[in-house]
Amino acid sequence: MATSELSALRNLVLPLLEAGGTVPIVQLGHPVLRRPALPFDGQLDDAELAALLELMRRTMHAAPGVGLAAPQLGIPLRIAVLEDSFETDTETAAVRERAPLPYFAMINPGYAPVGPRTAMFYEGCLSFAGFQGVVERHRTVRLDYRRPDGSAATEEFTGWPARIVQHETDHLNGILYVDKVLTRSLAGDDEYAQRWSEPGIGRARAGLGF
């Protein structure tokens, strides 16, 4: 990275770290969401990286959400945080294969499908507030990434955790869920909550014609 680019990146990140608290999440239409993020390669020192991850986690919790990618804060780096500790009922957990996802940060991630199976469920995005839509995603994926300490990691995720991994990694490639959504499934949050929030998508599929 050229010195001028590094300086510009640090000038973007460091004021956010100094402000503390949480920061606004950029919305669909911001160009940073549509550009592949830059690989993280030591542009921030260890303390700065740790502070950025904590900022991202606080902002994710406050939203609230289960994942947040650095571009969603306007930062074009391949970094994301993930955590799903929300309680869910037994039926939803079974149908959606939703299990708790302990907090972790992934740096420079990439995923690949494991097996041919896919799953279709509603999901939302903190950068496209107010809507939910059905996306078909790989049921199981293998994730290769770097931990904040620089060590390499490979893990497999299935079900809802795999959906979160794919959603956040896509963000780092300039892809949003609206690029993959079944368009006719899109619903405002209120309509979704009133009509289509059951564990599966069968009733929504019949009612909305997708």
* Annotation says 54 is catalytic: no
**61 appears as a binding residue in the annotation:** no
The residue from 5, 136, 168, 198 that is catalytic is 168
**138 appears as a binding residue in the annotation:** no
Query: Which of 201, 163, 208 has the alpha carbon at shortest distance from 185?
Result: 208
Q: Which residues are annotated binding-site positions for Fe cation?
A: 125, 167, 171
Among all residues, which ones are annotated catalytic? 168
Residue list, annotated binding site: 125, 167, 171
